[in-house]
Structure 1
Amino acid sequence: MPKRARNARDLDQLPYAHRLVAFDGELDREGDHEFAHFDGDVFTDLDGGGSAFTSSAFSAVTFTAGRYRRARFDDVWLHSVRVVGTDFAESAWMDAEFTACVLAGIEAFGTGMRRVAFHNCKFDSVNLRQTKLREVSFVDCLLRDVDLAGATLTDATFPGSTLERIRLDNATLTRVDLRGAAAVDIASGVAALSGATIDHAQLLDLAPALAQHLGLTVKDQ
């Protein structure tokens, strides 16, 4: 079985928690935010492209629409954050932790993520085409209609997560462990699973899609 990601942390467990300062202002293009605590803020249709967020926390924040292309997030913590219809394309995430977050209708193609953990999060219609995900874990999450076409996934795990109608066309999977996922439903690109590890029960669930990909006709006498 895959190794589960470490348990989600509370705000006061962050090593930089004592240095956080409440954010009071607006997000601007190419802004630099360090040790900022965004608490209950609502950001609607803003342009924060190229901004940097370092050792910062987001509590119950809402992002609606808006553009944050090429923004950088390093060592950030997000809890109960809601992101709807927002553009995070080509952003970079390292050492980030998401807990109980909702991400819907997001453009995040070309994004890079390394050492990122998602706990109890919901993804709905998220565009992750051409992303590079390395050491990313999805723990007890729901991923519905997520597009990973052309993406590169390395050392990714999905313990307890449900994958529905996932697109993997031309994706590259290396040491991706799907064992322990509650459900694995691939809408297209099933051939990309050649770089993944699954269990026997998942193999049975995926058998129809694999047979269709191979051109097999399955008939009972």
Structure 2
Amino acid sequence: MATPRTLDELPFAPHLRRFAGSSLRDARFDTVHIDGAEFVDERVEEVSFVEAAVSASSFEQVRMRRARLNDVWLQGVRMVGCDLAESNWLDVEAIGGVLAGLECHGAGLRRVVFHGCKFDSVNLRGAKLHEVVFHDCVLREVDFSGAALTECAFPGSRLEQVHLHQAKLTEVDLREAERIELADGVDALRGAAVTPMQLLELAPALAAALGLTVREAGEPLKAAVRRGSRSRR
């Protein structure tokens, strides 16, 4: 799904009802279109969105632990400081959104597509991502520590100071990523595909992870090893 869908292209668009409320406390949003709404400092447990659309809306400091998003379309949605831990995302499409300071640890994402979204300090520790695609996104300080990423791709995206400590990658395609900059967990890339040029760019981090000392020929090996050891302290 390289091209984002419009609201009118959604299969459930004819059935959508406009959301007229001001709170998320209804807990279940089925065939609802939320447009231009602002939700601040709310706490709703196990809220569900089914065949729903959300556009030009903001969520700030909203706690939605174990939320369920099934067949959901998001456009221009801003989520800041929200808690979506252990949430479940299935067949979700997000376009041009901002996700900052989000808690999504232990979440499950399956068949999710992000288009042109900005991620900043998002916690996805221990999450399970299956068939998740990040198109032209910026992922800054996103934490995938201990997460499982399967059949995921990052075409046109920038990964900046991303954490992969103890993450498990399976058939993850990074070849079309615009930038790959890891804060840690470079060894987790064993389950990913990269281009030869990307491999060259990652070489210093891979060498450090393997404990390799890289020095020009002619320099005494003991001195090089000793200096390399000091640099890793």
TM-score, normalised relative to structure 2: 0.91
Q: Which residue of 2 aligns with 1:28?
A: 25
2:177 to 168, 181, 187: 181
Q: Which residue of 2 aligns with 1:69?
A: 65
Paired residue type of 1:27 = L
Structure 2 SS opposite 1:76: strand
Give unpaired runs (5+ residues) of structure 2: 218-233
Once superposed, which parts of structure 1, at least 4 consecutive aligned residues long, lie more than 2 Å away? none
Matched, 1:96 2:97: no
Pick the structure with more helix per residue: 2
1:167 to 152, 156, 163: 163
The CA deviation at 1:207 is 0.6
The CA deviation at 1:66 is 1.4
Q: How does 1:105-120 map to 2 (within 5 A)?
A: 105-120=101-116
Identity %: 52
RMSD: 0.9
The CA deviation at 1:6 is 3.2
Q: Which structure carries more relative contact order (alpha carbon 8 Å, separation 6+)?
A: 1
1:53 to 46, 49, 56: 49
Matched, 1:85 2:81: yes
- CA–CA distance in structure 2, aligned partners of residues 48 and 11 of structure 1: 26
- CA–CA distance in structure 2, aligned partners of residues 133 and 48 of structure 1: 24
Structure 1 SS opposite 2:14: helix
Structure 1 SS opposite 2:190: helix
Structure 1 SS opposite 2:215: coil
- Work out the number of aligned pairs and report it: 216
Larger radius of gyration: 2
- CA–CA distance in structure 2, aligned partners of residues 220 and 42 of structure 1: 59
The CA deviation at 1:220 is 2.2
Q: Which residue of 1 aligns with 2:189?
A: 193
- CA–CA distance in structure 2, aligned partners of residues 204 and 121 of structure 1: 28
The CA deviation at 1:48 is 2.0
- CA–CA distance in structure 1, aligned partners of residues 107 and 20 of structure 2: 28
- CA–CA distance in structure 2, aligned partners of residues 205 and 35 of structure 1: 46
TM-score, normalised relative to structure 1: 0.96
Per-residue Cα deviation, 1:20-59 (whole angstroms, up to 9, x for no partner): 1111222117x11101100000000111220111000000
